[in-house]
Structure 1
Amino acid sequence: MIKKALLTTLLAGSFFAVQAQQKAKPEDTEVWEPVPKLVKPGEVRIEAPADAIVLFDGKNLDQWVMADDRTKPAQWTVADGVLTVNKKTGNIETKKAFTDYQLHIEWRIPANINLEGQSRGNSGVFLASTGKGDAGYELQVLDSYNNKTYVNGMAGSIYKQFVPLANPAKKPGEWQSYDIFWKAPTFEADGTVKTPARVTVLFNGVLVQNNVELLGPTQYIGKPSYKKHGPAPIKLQSHGDPSEPISFRNIWIREL
């Protein structure tokens, strides 16, 4: 009788947990306050050191493939030394997989952008791509210059997890930079987390993420949780917004 009652209780708990997940909404995990302080940044452009792997040198996409079909070469646009998102083709990711690394990447929001919120120049750098679509750990790319949105979704945030410590965003049309120091998660043989992922991020030379311990891969709806994976590519997001496309340049990485 006791066993039957316990089973009934467990089944009821599972039912209500599933119901709660089905009713979850994106705004449930949005944080709007406090708003990070504004910091006027300096100019940051760091050329690749001798031991770096150059992922984009302004000439070609030889180091990249399409994220949803890794047999296809990357189909974004390269012109005048700049890599520009192709909204019709989807995300791209590196051919090579990485564990721990230092990554430098520069990005630019179009000068003539006229949207707002999360539609204002939305992209992302996925620090480890763990599957198709937007699976992975996302460092948000967005216009955060005089653009109000939830603060755990602004530029420099670990999307839907960690608010940036400051807002050093430049005006649309100006080049911006991320310097990222990534420590990949490790897992036990049974798939449980041995050590969670950690990341430090400089945004235009300003510290915005200070060795934060990630809660798992990015979740747009609901809470993040880990699933076992090994070395992973780095992914750039084509968000598909109607705004003018975002551009990237000077991308290099040092394995640690």
Structure 2
Amino acid sequence: MNLNSAILTSALLLGTAGFTKAQENAKHEDTEFYTPVPVVVTPAKTAGNAPSDAIILFDGKNLDQWVMTDDRSQPAKWKVAKGEMTVDKTTGNIETKQSFNNYQLHLEWKVPANITGEGQSRGNSGLFLASIGKGDLGYELQILDAYNNKTYTNGMAGSIYKQTTPLFNPARKPGEWQTYDVIWTAPTFNTDGSLKSPAKVTVIYNGVVVQNGFELKGPTQYVGLPSYKQAHGPSPIKLQSHGDKSEPLSFRNIWIREL
């Protein structure tokens, strides 16, 4: 062993001895802390319903929290009946009046039992986790019948559209309610507009994790590769009125918690 190795070995031994001595003198109180104190949130009595601090986006009664995407001065014009809102394909997309940054979102959706068509023409819609402009601009979590319905897998229900395939396919049959629970971390941007940190999303679909902290490559692109081209801040959440000819979807029980 040369001199340098001997010095290093001695230093390591001394350091280990010091650490061991510190551990011997440690008390359990040394690793306990009492602040910050978490805010108390009263959970819902029924799973899937809104906790006490949630913002109710749709409770089955009206669309007061929604506007038309292409003209935000106009109230949302989709249909509300029997506790559900149903896509109106003649009017276009709708989005929330309020903008959000990071959040937890719960949403329930249903493909009609009498759905026809195949592939992308079978109950197509989308949950845009952040709407950044008119039309279909934003970050889309796909909504589509995925029960025995073959299509490209980065365009099936549970996918971040054209970016990633869901880890699993827990789809229920058409006519049955499906649930999305989403944890969204919005992208951040530097002062010059360049990307600082990408958007991330975790999606639980019918109780099954299908996206686990996926980092988005940018807003949704139907054609071409996604990229972050436009800096933005908090954004509305958008529901898509897709142009296919299949029977329109319905939604219920939508709530959000800001994080």
Give TM class, smaller chain: 0.7 to 0.9
Which structure 2 segments of 5+ residues have no match? 1-45
Equivalent position amino acid for 1:74 in 2: A
Q: For 1:209, which of 211, 214, 226 is the aligned residue?
A: 211
In the other structure, the counterpart of 1:240 is 243
In the other structure, the counterpart of 1:114 is 116
Q: For 2:232, which of 219, 229, 233 is the aligned residue?
A: 229
CA displacement 1:114-138 (0-9 Å, x = unmatched): 2100000000000000000000000
In the other structure, the counterpart of 1:166 is 168
In the other structure, the counterpart of 1:67 is 69
Q: For 1:139, which of 114, 138, 141 is the aligned residue?
A: 141
In the other structure, the counterpart of 1:253 is 256
CA displacement 1:34-93 (0-9 Å, x = unmatched): xxxxxxxxxx95000000000000000000000000000000000000000000000000
CA 1:91/1:45 → structure 2, altered by over 3 Å: closer, same or farther? farther
Q: Secondary structure at the match of 2:252?
A: strand
Q: For 1:155, which of 147, 152, 157 is the aligned residue?
A: 157
Q: Secondary structure at the match of 1:152?
A: helix
Give the alignment of 1:30-109 within 5 angstroms. 46-109=48-111
Superposition deviation, residue 208 in structure 1: 0.2
8 Å CA contact 2:154–2:164 kept in 1: the answer is: yes
CA RMSD of aligned residues (A): 0.9
Equivalent position amino acid for 1:127 in 2: L
Q: For 1:175, which of 177, 190, 199 is the aligned residue?
A: 177
In the other structure, the counterpart of 2:8 is none
Q: TM-score, normalised by structure 1?
A: 0.82
The higher relative CO (CA closer than 8 Å, separation ≥ 6) is in: 1
In the other structure, the counterpart of 2:30 is none
CA displacement 1:179-220 (0-9 Å, x = unmatched): 000000000011110010000000000000000100000000
Give the ranges of 4+ consecutive aligned residues of structure 1 lying more than 3 Å apart after TM superposition: none
Superposition deviation, residue 242 in structure 1: 1.1
8 Å CA contact 1:45–1:177 kept in 2: the answer is: no
Q: TM-score, normalised by structure 2?
A: 0.81
Aligned residue pairs: how many? 213
Which structure 1 segments of 5+ residues have no match? 1-43
Superposition deviation, residue 240 in structure 1: 2.1
Write the distance in 2 (CA, Å) between the matches of 1:114 and 1:232. 34
CA displacement 1:15-34 (0-9 Å, x = unmatched): xxxxxxxxxxxxxxxxxxxx
Equivalent position amino acid for 1:214 in 2: L
Write the distance in 2 (CA, Å) between the matches of 1:45 and 1:85. 26
Larger Rg: 2
